[in-house]
């Protein structure tokens, strides 16, 4: 047994210290980024925020709503082959939509069929497993890289530098970071496993950038300020689930309770998801996600404006003209209190 005595941080443990700057207005802040990748020849351009590949938020409708803003969606993996192939076939080649998959044989077979369906517009792939620490996952990423050298591969999830390095050296362009921070994730209470998300971002970003790789901070953002902290900590991309739930572009019905409107939102390892896609929870496992009702919030464009406005404002406070500069200009201060709750309900 070993205890790591270094303090590790979550978003709620810090604030970003303001800095003097010559930036006149947040309207002048550029929050788009351009990336090249370690392995694939693609050139990315856009606002590096990605809707999570959960079946509630990683939808075609979300992708359509995001496109004018330049954000990305990781499409969930439960769409049928033909629908996915048709979608990618119609996409402009500049699209940054991610195709999502697991590492089972059926996932590879399905991907090969989508590619054969003429979907050469697939340029970004998200290879997603709950635990990115297994040898079989690393082998899968390496084989996938060999088969598809042209694709930008995002792989995860992990939370430590050494595994980030291993995945990048095995063929990942972007490593997805986060174990247990998600809004509908119960991994930490079910297993005791996890890593404070801001420290995971800082440490994995450092490891990835040293090798020319990128990271995507996945999970745990509850406000635009958390998104700013994730980028400030070194994330190249930020993935959002819960913050995008409850909108018109999400899959699922609006339910009414006591004259208020809600939408169902659940983890992809929840009982709800396993019953929907795997015929129930297998006897050797427990669900590691939960289902919640989130208030119905209307069109996602309105919420996006909030998120992007918050991010621009964060850049202005530290004098970052571009999102790229935000990390360099970020100093985190440890905070005992985040917000004044005196008028909270
Ligand atoms: P959020 O933005 O809602 O805090 O986090 C979204 C992320 O939570 C997803 O992108 C995914 O990595 C993770 N997640 C989604 N469903 C589950 C689940 O059922 N169990 C666990 N452990 N994580 C989940």
Q: Whose CA is nearest to atom 15 of ligand 1?
A: 267
Contact by Cβ (8 Å): 202, 284: no
Report pLDDT for 118: 65
DSSP code, position 11: G
Q: Whose CA is nearest to atom 21 of ligand 1?
A: 185
- Residue of 123, 68, 65, 131 whose CA lies nearest to 97: 123
Report pLDDT for 119: 63
Distance between Cα 159 and ligand 1 center (Å): 14
Q: Which residues of the chain have pLDDT under 70?
A: 93-94, 118-119
Question: Can you tell me the distance from the alpha carbon of 136 to that of 145, in angstroms, rounded to the nearest whole number?
Answer: 14
Query: Which tens digits make up the pLDDT trace of 161-186?
Result: 999 999 999 999 999 999 999 999 99
Q: Whose CA is nearest to atom 22 of ligand 1?
A: 185
Query: Which tens digits make up the pLDDT trace of 108-156?
Result: 999 999 998 866 779 999 999 999 999 999 999 999 999 999 999 999 9
How many CB atoms neighbour CB 297 within 10 A?
17
Distance between Cα 170 and ligand 1 center (Å): 24
Question: Can you tell me the distance from the alpha carbon of 301 to that of 322, in angstroms, rounded to the nearest whole number?
Answer: 22
- Residue of 210, 211, 219 whose CA lies nearest to 237: 219
Residues 319, 322, 72, CA angle at the centre, nearest 5°? Answer: 135
Instruction: State which of 127, 157, 241, 276 you would mutate to test the pocket of ligand 1, scoring each by most atoms of that ligand within 8 A of its C-beta.
Output: 241
- Cβ-Cβ contacts under 8 Å for 92 (sequence gap 6 or more): 121
Residues with CB under 6 A from ligand 1: 52, 54, 130, 157, 178, 182-185, 187, 218-221, 239-243, 267-270, 288-289
Q: Whose CA is nearest to atom 23 of ligand 1?
A: 185
pTM, 2 dp: 0.97
Q: In what order do the strands lie in the sheet with 254-257?
A: 254-257, 260-266, 291-295
Contact by Cβ (8 Å): 326, 314: yes
Q: Of ligand 1's atoms, which has the minimum distance to the CA of residue 156?
A: 12
Residue 345, Cα to own-chain centre: how many angstroms? 30
- Cβ-Cβ contacts under 8 Å for 245 (sequence gap 6 or more): 56, 57, 183, 263, 265, 294
Distance between Cα 266 and ligand 1 center (Å): 9
Distance between Cα 100 and ligand 1 center (Å): 14
Question: Can you tell me the distance from the alpha carbon of 291 to that of 267, in angstroms, rounded to the nearest whole number?
Answer: 7
DSSP string, 189-240: HHH-----HHHHHHHHHHHHHHTT-EEEEES---SHHHHHHHHHTT-SEEEE
Residue 98, Cα to own-chain centre: how many angstroms? 11
Alpha-carbon torsion (171, 164, 185, 123), positive or negative: negative
Active site residues: 185
- Cβ-Cβ contacts under 8 Å for 335 (sequence gap 6 or more): 13, 14, 15
């Amino acid at each position: 047994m070993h205890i790591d005595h270094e303090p590790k941080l979550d978003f709620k443990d810090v604030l970003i210290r303001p800095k003097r700057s010559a930036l006149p207005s947040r309207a002048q802040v550029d929050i788009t980024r351009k990336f090249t990748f370690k392995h694939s020849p693609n050139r990315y351009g856009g606002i590096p925020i990605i809707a999570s590949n959960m079946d509630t938020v990683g939808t075609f409708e979300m992708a359509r709503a995001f496109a004018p803003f330049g954000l990305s969606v990781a499409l969930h993996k439960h769409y049928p082959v033909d629908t996915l192939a048709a979608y990618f076939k119609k996409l402009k080649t500049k699209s940054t939509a991610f195709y999502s998959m697991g590492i089972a044989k059926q996932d590879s077979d399905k991907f090969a069929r989508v590619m054969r369906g003429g979907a050469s517009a697939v340029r970004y792939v998200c290879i997603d497993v709950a635990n990115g620490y297994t040898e079989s996952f690393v082998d899968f990423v390496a084989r996938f890289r060999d088969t598809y050298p042209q694709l930008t591969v995002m792989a995860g999830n992990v939370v430590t530098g050494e595994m980030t390095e291993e995945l990048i050296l095995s063929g990942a362009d972007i490593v997805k970071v986060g174990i247990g921070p998600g809004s509908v994730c119960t991994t930490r209470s079910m297993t005791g496993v996890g890593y404070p998300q801001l420290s995971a971002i800082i440490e994995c970003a450092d490891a990835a950038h040293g090798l020319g790789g990128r990271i995507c901070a996945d999970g745990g953002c509850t406000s635009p300020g958390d998104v700013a902290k994730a980028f400030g900590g070194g994330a190249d991309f930020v993935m959002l689930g819960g913050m995008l739930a409850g909108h018109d572009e999400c899959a699922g019905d609006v339910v009414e309770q006591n004259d208020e409107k809600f939408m169902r939102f659940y983890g992809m390892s929840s009982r709800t998801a396993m019953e929907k896609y795997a015929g129930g929870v297998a006897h050797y496992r427990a669900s590691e996600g939960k289902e919640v009702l989130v208030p119905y919030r209307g069109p996602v464009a309105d919420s996006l404006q909030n998120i992007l406005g918050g991010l621009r404002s964060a850049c202005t406070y530290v004098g970052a003209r571009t999102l790229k500069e935000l990390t360099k200009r970020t100093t985190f201060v440890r905070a005992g209190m985040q917000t004044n709750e005196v008028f909270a309900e």
